[in-house]
Amino acid sequence: MAPNQTIPPLSDKSLFKQECYVNGEWVKAKSGKIFEVKDPGSGKFIGTCPECSKEDTDEAVKVAAAAFPSFRKTTGRERARMLRKWYQLMVDNADDIAKLITWENGKPFNDAKGEAAYAASFFEWFSEEAPRTDGDTIPATVPGNRVFTIKEPIGVCGLITPWNFPAAMITRKIGPAFAAGCTVVAKSPGETPFTSLALAELAHRAGIPKGVVNFITALENTAEVGSALTSNPTVRKVSFTGSTGVGKLLMKQSADTLKKLSFELGGNAPFIVFDDADLDVAVNGAVACKFRSSGQTCVCANRIYVQKGIYDKFATAFAEKVKGFKVGGGYDEGVTHGPLIHDRAISKVDAHVRDAEEKGGKIIVGGQKMPDLGSNFFQPTVITGMTMDMQLASEETFGPVAGLFPFETEAEVVKMANKAEVGLAGYFYSKDLQRAYRVAEALEVGMVGINTGLVSDPAAPFGGVKYSGFGREGSKYGISEYQIMKMITMGGMGEPLQGS
């Protein structure tokens, strides 16, 4: 252990793992290479993980493929019981999972506890979906034929997850794949690998069969691992959450083997406040939607549009809320917002703020780096007088910056909202029922929040349109992303009863 390494007070220190989990065993990279992980708040060393390569990835895929024939034959009820055990272990160890999230991701401990519970809920949800993968009976047009469908697991799945939700993004993908009867190779995010490795340890304790779930890690070799998963013909499905640019690359790499894909990619969510909205409710919703995890979520409000009739009142009330934030280390008492994940994130946030300022935007709260706290801290920021030529209008900031854009009409704001290439989530506040339908149907996004800034729920289908990707996670639809539908036709079934 490095001298400057300070492990949070885990109740169960054996949840802190620094090796990959393959075929039910803890293993190092074949090359022996490792990478370091640091606390984004303090910059201090946390630990090391194996720098896996194509060779390691291929081995994990081979193991998953060997486990698939027997695992696919388990019943949905058997898989449900296993998922339920895994879920219960997550609940029992929720505080330790949250401590790991805060340690490597930086989000405040209360937020991390919320994520730990949210992550576990996907195992609970899909434990209930596993026994209910129903097929259909279809009336045939040919006399004597009987047509029906069955659902089958697609096979070995490659799962690639991001750092902003180190637990929830893993469970949201593994849950439905496991419930469907698939085996998986999960590539943990290099910035935040320890949370996922703790989940692997809990899988082991839950009695998940060897080879069914496998976790590999990489930082510098992330692209190599991604290429290995997308090019390996044994992998029949790839699910990825991350940037649109990487999603496009993975899609190209998957073309030769015609994989089934589901991608949850970039977001640039519009948040619209109409004149008839309840101002207090809209302000609270915008604060929660914009600044959750310091703005580092794909469904965060990125462009806040406020109708001119209430623009000034909204801006004043919104700014007052933001002034009440406390920025600091994730474990510090009273802290509401933590650091950004790394220096590249800080640079992008600062560039967006400076660009808006140069083009006439007025910073009414924040707007500066916070070097006294550390290199990855930035003040929660509110900017008024935003215009469509500013970077923030077209690029996802992924940080604690709220730009307020004025607008006059429904048609105008919907046009501005839909100008983005991406279409993940959109939000608006209004008391007008007819407007609610009009605007919800007009927004080019996969998810709409009306009078709420939070849409994530294991029961709700999560996903986008346009450059935000395709496929849905969570809900009753999530499991179908890991299944194939097989049609079976039986002929000669129309004979009369014997003896008639």
- Point out the catalytic residue in the list 191, 298, 300, 396: 298
Return the pLDDT at 9: 86
Q: What pTM does this model have?
A: 0.96
Is-catalytic flag, 320? no
Return the pLDDT at 8: 66
Is-catalytic flag, 157? no
The whole-angstrom separation of Cα 496 and Cα 190 is 65
Residue by residue, pLDDT tens for the chain (500 residues) are 333 434 568 999 999 999 999 999 999 999 999 999 999 999 999 999 999 999 999 999 999 999 999 999 999 999 999 999 999 999 999 999 999 999 999 999 999 999 999 999 999 999 999 999 999 999 999 999 999 999 999 999 999 999 999 999 999 999 999 999 999 999 999 999 999 999 999 999 999 999 999 999 999 999 999 999 999 999 999 999 999 999 999 999 999 999 999 999 999 999 999 999 999 999 999 999 999 999 999 999 999 999 999 999 999 999 999 999 999 999 999 999 999 999 999 999 999 999 999 999 999 999 999 999 999 999 999 999 999 999 999 999 999 999 999 999 999 999 999 999 999 999 999 999 999 999 999 999 999 999 999 999 999 999 999 999 999 999 999 999 999 999 999 999 989 999 87
- Point out the catalytic residue in the list 104, 264, 396, 410: 264
Return the pLDDT at 500: 75
pLDDT in tens, 16-36: 999 999 999 999 999 999 999
